[in-house]
Structure 1
Amino acid sequence: MTLLGVFRRRNQGITNGDSDSSEGTITENKSPSSVPEGIEMSGDKVPDSEKVQVSETLAIEEESHDDPEIAALPLQVRQLINLKDDPTLPTITFRYFVLSAIFVIPGAFLSQLSYFRTTSAKYSVFFVQIACHYAGHFLARTLPAWNIRIPATNWGFSLNPGPWSIKEHVLVTITAASGASYNLGYAPIVLAELWYGERIQPAVALFFMLAIVWIGYAFAALARQILLPDPDYIWPQALMQTTLFETFRRTDTTSRLARRQMKVFFFLLLAMTLWQFLPEYVFPFTSSLAFLCWVAPRNPVANFVGSGLGGMGFLNLSLDWSNINWNGSSILLTPWWTQVLLFFAFAFNCWVLIPAAKWGKLGSFKHGLMSNSLFMGNGTEYPTSKVLTPTFHLNETAYQEYGPMYMGTQNVWATFFDYAKLPAAITWIATFGYAQVSSNLKKIFSSRKAGHSNQNDQTAQGEGIHYKYNDRLNVIQRQYKEIPTWWYVALFVVGFVILITSIACGYLFIPIWTLFVALGSAAIFVVPFAWLYAISNYQLETGSFNELVYGYMVHTKAGQNHQHPCGPSVYGSIAGDAWYRAQYMLQDQKIGHYMHIPPRQVFFSQIFGTILGVPIDYAVVRWVMDTKGDYLTGKKTDPLNQWTGQKLVTSNTMGMQYAVLGPKRLFAQAEMAPLPWSFLVGAVIPPILFIFHRLFPKLRIDLWNVSIFFGGLAMFYGNVSTGYTSAIIGAYIAMYWAYRRHFEVWKRYNYLVAAAFDAGFNLNMLLIFLFFGSGKQISMPKWWGNNADSVERCFALSS
């Protein structure tokens, strides 16, 4: 056996996940050409850590060349994922149910509560991953190994089936991700009762919230066979979570490397938790370092150009992880090309369009350059409640008195790109993604044909969607039963019956026929949006598109009796959650794919999570309306300035724009007349770029994804422009330089660092909330680093 063969067998901890990659020595001299890029060797002696890295990489690459099943996987997948499976490990156990309840119930409470408050502590899935690991081992040590029989049945279970299983760990986390989250259906429920005095019955509200989630999960079936088994779709967020699972799994063995990784993880978690007290509370000056303001603190132009909190953010840096990491681990997770596109979108937005609007007469500056509120012609905020009739239609007399509703200038172009990104996503996948998607569809159809034509072949029958993919992960998954299509159909039927019954009885403010439009449009978006998310980790949001579509529909003769301001939020909840939830379901199923979890158990855990979480969501909604309702509507002033319901105000504003006023009136104004043209712009640019890509392939125009670029232009709202420059610097270091020059270090620590930073940030937010905001609000005393006029020290910004 060759030395490489020995290394391969000794170091299966990386490819097979068994042990630490044996921290031995290299006894055979290798030339620098045989060492992977990023491993520097100098002199006769090599540090032990680099010896291990070299041996592991050589072993993996050698086995990849020998085994086509491994070679078929992307590099980062085959070097980060365990490629061995133990199908005997327990999955759905008594411990699973106990821990699911423990983590879902408080998580759903905190997540839903956050949507009513000005600031909140996000319930992190990384916290669940960390805490569940130790809680599972605690139950495995303490629970008695009793076998329980269910009376009058043949069913039974063990309280403690043995050592804590990594598969139990994964399933509890997936359940928490499914159930411990907010529900889009809360908005129309709260708006109807608090703003318009129409209470939706509790049973209707609860089943409405369940239905929109279940339909979204059912819609995952539309994209599952295209995007889940294909190894080229890595789903970066799923890969990051899997990396943390793999590290926990190896700590349960004798892996010294895994223990070292966990030490690094907890050290960085603690460091981030402590650091965030500075920008978030003690030293907010560090949240936005406006260098131009330091040079000219009393110059209005320099202040506006340099400020990241009310200005352009030019030459502005941030040391606040929430500002740097503006999309959830994006700089340590999202591919480099995606981050470059998003930074260019930010730069064009803030460094080109904003100064053009402020000093170049692009739009109307008096209507709020960096605001998403509605304004009257004189620049003051529009009194929307005064232009409604008792039946919630437009009061023409009052509207003539107050005049048209104007949007802030930045909000106008943000809305333009918000509309354009949707057709751009569809035509982009129809051009640049056509070859791969069509190839996957052919594999699906051929696998079904093979399964039907060979009924006696047990292998062909059992492989399901994995039949035409011969990488190691798909081969492993073939041993497990696939999720039947009728499960998704049944889930859809249940959700559909709930919705159509509630609408037909007049509980949900929208006409029945719009439900079919909502579900049809969502079905169109599922594949292109999930495809984009699977390759780029960029989640394209529909924004106000759904509300716009609803506005057009109810301002026709067929919908003229359904112009209630809550209608757009009902429609948006149905159409939006249908594909949002589909994405999240696919992402968590990809985790199950990476971790070799039986697909049916993953499906069960996701549905079980919603059954636990959605009732908690509604209970939170009910409690907030009963105890904080006057604060949300502005009848009373919250002394803590927390219960402001800003997201609800935005939903109400869109209800006024699209349902009451109507898109036709809204777009009749000169400054908003170009908005409908955005759909044509978004639809035609990808085909044009595709033609240029075919003519000039070396330019890599396939990386110039305009739907992501448009999404970057559309997502910048308000006047916070700090952090983006820091983000692109950090992204260059992590996702370009380290990935290409020091891949061995990158593959071991990049995703762990991302998880540690996210978990530490969220832990810090929770601590600040508990210590300084949950009861009596405790403000940080004003000092040089927390100036009362400007924490950036841009004192002339408002001039």
Structure 2
Amino acid sequence: MSSEKDTIDSAGIPSDQDIHQNTNRTTEDFKQLKTIASLREDSSSLDEMNIKGDVQDIKIAEIGDDTALDVENDVELVLDKARGLTIEECRKLIKDLLEEHTYDYNFAATQKDKLRKLLDGPAEGQSAEEWEILLKKETALNIFYSPYPEVRAITRPDDDVNMPCETIRAHLLGYLWACIGQFINSLFNSRYPSITLQSSVAQILLYPCGMFLAWSLPDWGVTIFGKRHTLNPGPWTYKEQMFSTIIVNVGLTSAYCFWNIQTQQVYYGDKWLTPEYEILLLLSTQLMGLGFAGMLRRFVVYPIQALWPNILPTVALNRALLVKETHESINGWRMSRYKFFFIFFIGMTVYFWLPGFLFPALSYFAWMTWIKPDNFNLATVTGSSFGLGFNPLSSLDWNVFATYAFPLTWPFFAQVQQYIGMVFGGLIILAAYYSNFKWTAYLPINSSGIFDNTGDSYNITKVM
């Protein structure tokens, strides 16, 4: 046993003493060291189908104020899964994973190359034991956790079934803020750029409400089928916050039939619209959409490749608000997610007054047209309101950016594809406009209006 352990240590796997001496590593480094060290403890039985025993707690480092960095439970779960794998199982799982994610652009190419090299066997200068440990660790991490680092950074691989979730107070707050959010979004739906109450704002509002109910509500409840349902099951939990957020998020999006009703009343002047018609139209379209969503879950929700980047900030914010973090130093930074979020939240709240009220020109920052305001061609190409907006700095208003895309959540390749498409589309429009194709030069180059053959606004009453 000792000779085999010495062989593994000489192959580059750190000993316990080495781990204790590394005090300036990041959390990911700590997890890596713990994984290797824990598997090393059972290196003598790596060939067995199931490795018995729990993973021992290892004190990895002392940081900052001499507070020990607690090893997270997700590492323990991944290690337990890795212990029960054989080499043949690992090879099969990795092959299936690579085949399944062949056209998955969210799965990093570097990670794919790393897994392919592991399938080829030990690398040059790498011992068989070290290769086997790395193979099992990567297999367990990608199969039993997630192949996406962005997901692993904000989620857990297990589920605490004892944590309250669908409580009375969670339902109450979810429905309350769903109604408030839908009213606000519908009220400002016609504004451009629109003002929307997004899920991140709803989460911020739900958090103090949940904490207040946890403090104020009495512990009154009834027992139904052996399960007690109470007004106050204890502290406001992460699951309750997420459950209420899901309810609010479903109700935040304005119904598409809102545009139908608004157009019929404002532009078509239909007088026969009644509240009954509007309610039935709303219910029929919304229920049809929810029905399609249920049928499409097997294609857009259940597959692991169905990674929706817009959901990640919602999960990360919930974690920052309610999951206690350890005091750790990462690349010299010791700021928690909670503190980081509120600093930028306050900063953006203050900055919004600048383009929103004090200097509205920052919203559509057509500074290039200021060079020569009477130049028609310059305004056509670079103008923001009625031009194509070919401007390297077209806005300093985050509300305008968020109207067209989600710069902080969408993958880089998706945004690049979008921008390339916009550039090519703009060039095609310019070519058609300046060549007067189908008399397009008689119309504004950028407008959502409807025009007749003389270039005037189309009179829709002529066809009604």
> What's the TM-score once normalised by structure 1's chain length?
0.39
Q: Which residue of 2 aligns with 1:185?
A: 257
Q: CA deviation at 1:8?
A: 7.5
Q: Write the distance in 2 (CA, Å) between the matches of 1:242 and 1:335.
A: 17
Q: Which residue of 2 aligns with 1:102?
A: 176
Seen in structure 2, the aligned counterparts of structure 1 residues 61 and 262 have a Cα distance that, compared at 3 Å, is farther
Structure 1 letter corresponding to 2:216: T
Q: Which residue of 2 aligns with 1:169?
A: 241
Q: Write the distance in 2 (CA, Å) between the matches of 1:382 and 1:189.
A: 20
Spell out the pairing of 1:453-532 with structure 2 (5 A cutoff): none
Matched, 1:344 2:389: no
Structure 2 letter corresponding to 1:226: F
Q: Write the distance in 2 (CA, Å) between the matches of 1:102 and 1:259.
A: 33
Structure 2 letter corresponding to 1:182: S
Structure 1 letter corresponding to 2:384: G
Q: Write the distance in 1 (CA, Å) between the matches of 2:326 and 2:278.
A: 51
Structure 1 letter corresponding to 2:399: S
Spell out the pairing of 1:161-560 with structure 2 (5 A cutoff): 161-192=233-264, 195-251=268-324, 260-317=336-393, 318-328=395-405, 330-350=406-426, 352-364=427-439, 365-388=441-464
Spell out the pairing of 1:48-87 with structure 2 (5 A cutoff): 63-64=137-138, 67=141, 69-70=143-144, 73-87=147-161
Is the 1:148–1:158 contact (alpha carbons within 8 Å) kept by the matching residues of 2? yes
Seen in structure 2, the aligned counterparts of structure 1 residues 139 and 294 have a Cα distance that, compared at 3 Å, is same
Q: Write the distance in 2 (CA, Å) between the matches of 1:16 and 1:386.
A: 70
Q: CA deviation at 1:82?
A: 1.9
Spell out the pairing of 1:730-745 with structure 2 (5 A cutoff): none
Q: CA deviation at 1:276?
A: 2.2
Q: CA deviation at 1:108?
A: 1.7
Spell out the pairing of 1:603-682 with structure 2 (5 A cutoff): none
Q: CA deviation at 1:129?
A: 1.0
Is the 2:189–2:196 contact (alpha carbons within 8 Å) kept by the matching residues of 1? no
Is the 2:380–2:445 contact (alpha carbons within 8 Å) kept by the matching residues of 1? no
Measured against aligned partners, the alpha-carbon deviations of 1:133-188 in whole angstroms (never above 9, x if no partner) come to: 221122111211122479xx999631111111111111111111122332222344
Structure 2 letter corresponding to 1:281: F
Q: Percent identity?
A: 24
Structure 2 letter corresponding to 1:183: A
Is the 2:373–2:379 contact (alpha carbons within 8 Å) kept by the matching residues of 1? yes
Q: Write the distance in 1 (CA, Å) between the matches of 2:314 and 2:60.
A: 26
Is the 1:65–1:71 contact (alpha carbons within 8 Å) kept by the matching residues of 2? no
Q: CA deviation at 1:279?
A: 1.9
Is the 2:383–2:390 contact (alpha carbons within 8 Å) kept by the matching residues of 1? yes
| Larger radius of gyration between Structure 1 and Structure 2 | 2
Q: Write the distance in 2 (CA, Å) between the matches of 1:85 and 1:67.
A: 16
Matched, 1:132 2:206: yes
Seen in structure 2, the aligned counterparts of structure 1 residues 309 and 180 have a Cα distance that, compared at 3 Å, is closer
Measured against aligned partners, the alpha-carbon deviations of 1:236-265 in whole angstroms (never above 9, x if no partner) come to: 1112211112222323x6556897221111
Q: Which moved more, 1:263-272 or 1:367-376?
A: 367-376
Seen in structure 2, the aligned counterparts of structure 1 residues 14 and 386 have a Cα distance that, compared at 3 Å, is farther
Q: CA deviation at 1:340?
A: 1.2
Seen in structure 2, the aligned counterparts of structure 1 residues 376 and 100 have a Cα distance that, compared at 3 Å, is same
Measured against aligned partners, the alpha-carbon deviations of 1:437-486 in whole angstroms (never above 9, x if no partner) come to: xxxxxxxxxxxxxxxxxxxxxxxxxxxxxxxxxxxxxxxxxxxxxxxxxx
Matched, 1:143 2:217: yes
Measured against aligned partners, the alpha-carbon deviations of 1:574-599 in whole angstroms (never above 9, x if no partner) come to: xxxxxxxxxxxxxxxxxxxxxxxxxx
Spell out the pairing of 1:146-161 with structure 2 (5 A cutoff): 146-148=220-222, 157-161=229-233
Is the 1:111–1:182 contact (alpha carbons within 8 Å) kept by the matching residues of 2? yes
Is the 1:137–1:163 contact (alpha carbons within 8 Å) kept by the matching residues of 2? yes
Q: Write the distance in 2 (CA, Å) between the matches of 1:155 and 1:198.
A: 53
Q: Helix, strand or coil: the match of 1:333?
A: coil
Matched, 1:114 2:188: yes
Is the 1:192–1:199 contact (alpha carbons within 8 Å) kept by the matching residues of 2? no
Is the 2:181–2:252 contact (alpha carbons within 8 Å) kept by the matching residues of 1? yes
Seen in structure 2, the aligned counterparts of structure 1 residues 287 and 61 have a Cα distance that, compared at 3 Å, is farther
Q: Write the distance in 2 (CA, Å) between the matches of 1:291 and 1:340.
A: 24
Seen in structure 2, the aligned counterparts of structure 1 residues 313 and 226 have a Cα distance that, compared at 3 Å, is closer
Q: 2:163 aligns with which of 89, 102, 105?
A: 89
Q: Write the distance in 2 (CA, Å) between the matches of 1:114 and 1:97.
A: 26
Q: Write the distance in 1 (CA, Å) between the matches of 2:223 and 2:161.
A: 24
Q: Helix, strand or coil: the match of 2:196?
A: coil
Q: Helix, strand or coil: the match of 2:163?
A: coil
Q: Helix, strand or coil: the match of 2:336?
A: helix
Q: More helix by proportion, 1 or 2?
A: 1
Q: Write the distance in 2 (CA, Å) between the matches of 1:292 and 1:189.
A: 39
Is the 1:367–1:377 contact (alpha carbons within 8 Å) kept by the matching residues of 2? no
Q: CA deviation at 1:123?
A: 1.4
Q: Write the distance in 2 (CA, Å) between the matches of 1:72 and 1:119.
A: 37
Structure 2 letter corresponding to 1:101: Y
Aligned residues: 345
Seen in structure 2, the aligned counterparts of structure 1 residues 7 and 322 have a Cα distance that, compared at 3 Å, is farther
Is the 1:96–1:168 contact (alpha carbons within 8 Å) kept by the matching residues of 2? yes
Q: Write the distance in 2 (CA, Å) between the matches of 1:283 and 1:342.
A: 29
> What's the TM-score once normalised by structure 2's chain length?
0.65
Q: Write the distance in 2 (CA, Å) between the matches of 1:82 and 1:148.
A: 32
Is the 2:145–2:157 contact (alpha carbons within 8 Å) kept by the matching residues of 1? no
Q: Helix, strand or coil: the match of 2:310?
A: helix
Q: Helix, strand or coil: the match of 2:438?
A: coil
Q: Write the distance in 2 (CA, Å) between the matches of 1:135 and 1:269.
A: 18
Measured against aligned partners, the alpha-carbon deviations of 1:509-564 in whole angstroms (never above 9, x if no partner) come to: xxxxxxxxxxxxxxxxxxxxxxxxxxxxxxxxxxxxxxxxxxxxxxxxxxxxxxxx
Residue segments in structure 1 that go unaligned for 5+ positions in a row: 19-35, 38-59, 389-799
Measured against aligned partners, the alpha-carbon deviations of 1:380-404 in whole angstroms (never above 9, x if no partner) come to: 112110333xxxxxxxxxxxxxxxx
Seen in structure 2, the aligned counterparts of structure 1 residues 192 and 95 have a Cα distance that, compared at 3 Å, is same
Seen in structure 2, the aligned counterparts of structure 1 residues 67 and 307 have a Cα distance that, compared at 3 Å, is closer
Q: Write the distance in 2 (CA, Å) between the matches of 1:233 and 1:90.
A: 27
Q: Write the distance in 2 (CA, Å) between the matches of 1:293 and 1:192.
A: 37
Seen in structure 2, the aligned counterparts of structure 1 residues 384 and 202 have a Cα distance that, compared at 3 Å, is closer
Seen in structure 2, the aligned counterparts of structure 1 residues 155 and 203 have a Cα distance that, compared at 3 Å, is farther
Q: Write the distance in 1 (CA, Å) between the matches of 2:256 and 2:418.
A: 26
Seen in structure 2, the aligned counterparts of structure 1 residues 12 and 62 have a Cα distance that, compared at 3 Å, is farther
Q: Helix, strand or coil: the match of 1:157?
A: strand
Is the 2:362–2:397 contact (alpha carbons within 8 Å) kept by the matching residues of 1? yes
Structure 1 letter corresponding to 2:458: Y
Aligned residues: CA RMSD:
3.6
Q: Helix, strand or coil: the match of 2:345?
A: helix
